[in-house]
Amino acid sequence: MRLEAVLAGVEAYAPRYVTVTGGEPLVQPPCKTLLSRLCDAGYQVSLETSGALDVSAVDQRVVLVMDLKTPGSGEGHRNRYENLDCLRPQDQVKFVICDRPDYEWSKVQLARFDLDRRCEVLYSANHGQLDAALLADWILADRLPVRFQVQLHKYLWGDVRGR
């Protein structure tokens, strides 16, 4: 789809907020241009990224929502820790936690990189793999300075692509 068609499609919905997500958006060459054009059009824009690609050239008006992949995801080797230096107070770093070892690993990263002082930190239970209430209990017991969330799209639409 051409950039102008995407922008027209967004405009048709008349949103205030636009989140660019799905797979890894930064793999698509026109993504950075799209983000800037959305900002230019007056939208409040966020980018959900795996954190595996360089985010330093993303328009500064865009709120970054960046994953730190846990060991249980099988994707931890893709974490680009240099991206943490790009995080600002309005940004978010997200951990999708699969099990107790992932939770313990995420606590180490939280402290190691002083993440809660850089930006908002999100902890989410991997849908279907870790009970969300159990993760919430762990967070409360440890009094972690994080925001608990669920993978809402999974509750609403399951694993359906394109929703």
The pair of three-digit structure tokens given for residue 43, joined into one six-digit string: 């939208």
The 10s digit of each residue's pLDDT in 38-73 is: 999 999 999 999 999 999 999 999 999 999 999 999
The 10s digit of each residue's pLDDT in 74-117 is: 999 999 999 999 999 999 999 999 999 999 999 999 999 999 99
Question: CA dist 55 to 26, 58, 87, 95, 103, Å?
Answer: 8, 5, 9, 17, 25
Between residues 34 and 158, which one has the greater pLDDT? 34
- Evaluate the CA torsion angle 115, 64, 55, 132 in order and state its sign: positive
The pair of three-digit structure tokens given for residue 39, joined into one six-digit string: 């900002």
The rounded radius of gyration (Å) of the Cα atoms in the chain is 16
Nearest residue to 143 (alpha-carbon basis) of 116, 119, 118: 116
Residue 136 has pLDDT above 80, yes or no: yes
Dist. CA 13–CA 133, nearest whole Å: 34
Predicted local confidence at residue 156, as pLDDT? 82
Predicted local confidence at residue 163, as pLDDT? 54
Q: Rounded to an integer, what is the distance from CA 90 to the centroid of its chain?
A: 13
Residue 151 has pLDDT above 90, yes or no: no
- The owner of tokens 């960046």 is 66
Residue 96 contacts residue 151 (beta carbons within 8 Å): yes
Number of C-beta neighbours around residue 1 at 10 A: 7
Average pLDDT over residues 115-131: 95
Average pLDDT over residues 18-32: 92
Rounded to two decimals, the pTM is: 0.91
